[in-house]
């Protein structure tokens, strides 16, 4: 071993929530690790700015603004590290989503679950879907169910079951929107596997959703709202984990290359010109970075990793004096179907959705741009972007006043695209990896924070089991 080379049982590459969760999980199992992050900050896509302004404090999210509690892993992690008291649910009495429909804000009818109506009257009286569209949706109850387990695109599924209009007005902005993707490419099985399960079990998505609603109604209500954050924003999850991690944590330490040694360990060349040998590697980096790092070790996995597409997205948050916003902001925000041809994708009314996001008498609004829907907006200069977004806020919400604060965040090549066949690709990648190398994170089996936590925990358990076996043999 050279003088500048150190050794670790496990090197975790990438200090986003996946890397941090893997570290915490290993630590709980008594495994030593080194966590390497190339930037000067922990958290990756989780980034909250607490902006102290002359108007008071704004809590501005650059990435995720919440996590879903129906997938329990992020919630469990938060409770485990003592953040129970810091959890902050959405203001559910104001829960309402608007869809931009021919330039006008139209509320999503009460009872629509994802894309399926579960209440008759609000849906029948809503102008969002035309009468022919509603009749087409009703046919869903009588269509034969698909019975094989092959993947298909979200668009094919929705067209097949519910018709084109539901795809245009609901599925595209709501379900493809979450993934910043195109529904014609989006894998149903990787993103909404439950739809296929319900179709197979109940013969109809609508019947399945209604059954789910009935069983939830008879279960005791959850103490947590479906989407939950923390009083000072998502960064609390990262800030809460860091002081509990007692491993070797290195910021400003990017991994430049990896080579395999004769004894099945690996040597990492680091950006500070030092080297690290590791018995096990957990890579949580974006798939195209992981592909580069593994190119010399496993070309099959590297090629498949490089095939995972990414898009760039951004958010622009604007704060206003409440009196300058003519709209009541009586909901969580607006989704914008692709067919509306607008330069932004969605708007969240952050200070309605959550308390503590803006001082009293101010409103915080977050807009989303880029991705496959509005890539041209991603490349605008900051000034042109602000002009574009303000024009949109004027058109949609009637806001003409100057914002008191703006914050723009661009995430270049940041969102993995789960194209049709994604899960089989991931299976093949995993089986092609050399011994003791693991990949995890948002490129693989779920992009949301809870999915990242879960995948990291599963990976850490495999690594801990591998190390134990090695010690015993």
Residues that bind ligand FAD (CB under 6 A): 13-19, 36-39, 44-46, 63-67, 254-255, 284-285, 289, 313, 315, 411, 414, 441-442, 447-449, 452
- Supply the minimum distance, in Å, between the C-beta of residue 409 and ligand FAD: 7
Residue 36 CB, nearest distance to ligand FAD (Å)?
A: 5
Exposure pattern of 5-42 as b/e (b: 16+ CB <10 Å)? eeebbbbbbbbbbbbbbbbbbbbeeebebbbbbbeeeb
- Calculate the CA dihedral of residues 138, 144, 147, 150 and round it to 10 degrees: -60
Report the distance separating Cα 184 and Cα 207, nearest Å.
Answer: 25
Q: Which two tokens stand for residue 300?
A: 């099959």
In the complex, minimum distance from the CB of residue 253 to ligand FAD, in angstroms, rounded to a whole number: 7
Residue with Cβ nearer ligand FAD (31 or 449): 449
Instruction: Please state, as a whole number, how many other Cβ atoms lie within 10 Å of the Cβ of residue 234.
Output: 25
Among all chains, which residue has been given the structure tokens 């592909």? Answer: 291
Residue in the shown chain whose Cβ atom is closest to ligand FAD: 44
Considering the complex, state which of residue 11 and residue 319 has its C-beta at the smaller distance from ligand FAD. Answer: 11
Beta-sheet strands, E only, within 263-331: 266-270, 275-283, 310-321
For ligand FAD, give the closer residue by CB, 202 or 310: 310
Q: Taking the complex as a whole, how short is the minimal distance between the CB of residue 314 and ligand FAD, in angstroms?
A: 7
Q: Give the shortest CB-183-to-ligand FAD separation in angstroms.
A: 19
Q: Which two tokens stand for residue 159?
A: 């067209």
Which is closer to ligand FAD, CB of 339 or CB of 408?
408
Nearer to ligand FAD, 344 or 414 (CB): 414
The dihedral formed by the CA atoms of 232, 352, 88 and 41, expressed in degrees to the nearest 10: -30
Supply the minimum distance, in Å, between the C-beta of residue 473 and ligand FAD.
31
Residue 37 or 168: the one with the smaller Cβ distance to ligand FAD is: 37
Residues with Cβ within 8 Å of residue 220, at least 6 apart in sequence: none
Strand blocks (E) in 371-442: 405-416, 437-439
3-state SS of 9-23?
EEEEECCEHHHHHHH
CB of 393 to ligand FAD, least distance (A): 18
Alpha-carbon span 310 to 303, nearest angstrom: 15
Helix runs in 349-416, H state only: 350-353, 375-378, 382-397
Q: Tokens 């387990």 identify what position?
A: 149
Choose between 390 and 445: whose C-beta lies nearer to ligand FAD.
445
DSSP state of 408: E
For residues 387, 393, 399, 400, the Cα torsion angle rounded to the nearest 10 degrees is 20
Number of CB atoms found within 10 A of residue 164's CB: 12
Residue 447 vs 464, nearer CB to ligand FAD: 447
Q: Which two tokens stand for residue 416?
A: 């993995």
**Could you tell me which residues come within 8 angstroms of residue 363 by beta carbon, excluding any fewer than 6 positions away?**
319, 320, 321, 322, 325, 329, 349, 351, 352
166 or 190: CB nearest ligand FAD: 190
Tell me whether residue 162 or residue 278 sits nearer to ligand FAD (CB atom). 278
Pair type for strands 56-61 and 48-53: antiparallel
User: To the nearest whole angstrom, how small is the minimum distance from the Cβ of residue 449 to ligand FAD?
Assistant: 4
Query: Measured from the CB of residue 21, what is the shortest distance to ligand FAD in angstroms?
Result: 8
Residue number with CB closer to ligand FAD (208 or 254) = 254
CA distances (Å), origin 68, targets 82, 161, 227, 228, 420: 18, 26, 5, 6, 24
Instruction: Supply the minimum distance, in Å, between the C-beta of residue 43 and ligand FAD.
Output: 7
Q: What's the min distance (Å) between Cβ of 181 and ligand FAD?
A: 13
């Amino acid at each position: 071993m050279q003088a500048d080379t150190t050794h670790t049982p496990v090197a975790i590459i990438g200090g986003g929530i996946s890397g941090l969760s893997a570290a915490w999980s290993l630590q709980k199992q008594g495994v030593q690790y080194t966590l390497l992050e190339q930037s000067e900050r922990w958290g990756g896509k989780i980034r909250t700015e607490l902006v102290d302004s002359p108007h008071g404090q704004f809590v501005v999210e650059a990435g995720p603004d919440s996590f879903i509690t129906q997938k329990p892993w992020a919630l469990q992690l938060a409770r485990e590290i003592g953040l129970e008291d810091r959890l902050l649910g959405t203001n559910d009495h104001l829960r309402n989503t608007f869809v931009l429909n021919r330039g006008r804000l139209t509320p999503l009818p009460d009872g629509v679950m994802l894309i399926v109506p579960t209440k008759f009257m609000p849906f029948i009286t809503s102008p969002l879907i035309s009468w022919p569209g509603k009749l087409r949706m009703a046919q869903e109850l009588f269509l034969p169910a698909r019975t094989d387990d092959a993947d298909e695109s979200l668009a094919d599924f929705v067209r097949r079951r519910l018709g084109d209009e539901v795809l245009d007005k609901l599925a595209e902005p709501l379900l493809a929107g979450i993934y910043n993707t195109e529904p014609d490419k989006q894998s149903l099985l990787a993103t909404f596997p439950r739809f296929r399960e319900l179709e197979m079990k109940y013969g109809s998505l609508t019947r399945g959703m209604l059954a789910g609603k009935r069983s939830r109604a008879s279960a005791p209500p959850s103490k947590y709202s479906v989407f939950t954050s923390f009083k000072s924003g998502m960064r609390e999850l990262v800030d809460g984990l860091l002081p509990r991690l007692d491993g070797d944590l290195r910021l400003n330490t990017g991994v430049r290359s990896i080579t395999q040694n004769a004894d099945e360990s690996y040597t990492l060349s680091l950006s500070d010109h030092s080297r690290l040998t590791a018995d096990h590697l957990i890579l949580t980096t974006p798939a195209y970075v992981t592909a580069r790092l593994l190119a010399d070790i496993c070309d099959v996995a590297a090629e498949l990793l490089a095939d995972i597409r990414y898009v760039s997205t951004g958010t622009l948050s604007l704060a206003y004096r409440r009196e300058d916003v003519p709209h009541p902001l009586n909901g969580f925000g607006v989704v914008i179907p692709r067919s509306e041809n607008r330069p932004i994708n969605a708007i969240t009314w952050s200070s309605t959705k959550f308390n503590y996001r803006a001082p009293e008498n101010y409103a915080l609004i977050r807009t989303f741009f880029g991705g496959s829907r509005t890539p041209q907006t991603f490349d605008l200069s900051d000034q042109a972007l602000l002009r574009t977004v303000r024009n949109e806020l004027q058109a949609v919400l009637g806001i003409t006043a100057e914002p008191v604060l703006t914050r723009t965040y661009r995430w270049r090549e940041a969102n993995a695209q789960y194209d049709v066949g994604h899960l089989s690709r991931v299976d093949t990648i995993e089986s092609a990896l050399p011994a003791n190398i693991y990949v995890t994170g948002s490129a693989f089996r779920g992009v949301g924070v809870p999915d990242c936590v879960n995948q990291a925990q599963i990976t850490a358990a495999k690594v801990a089991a591998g190390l134990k076996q090695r010690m015993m043999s």
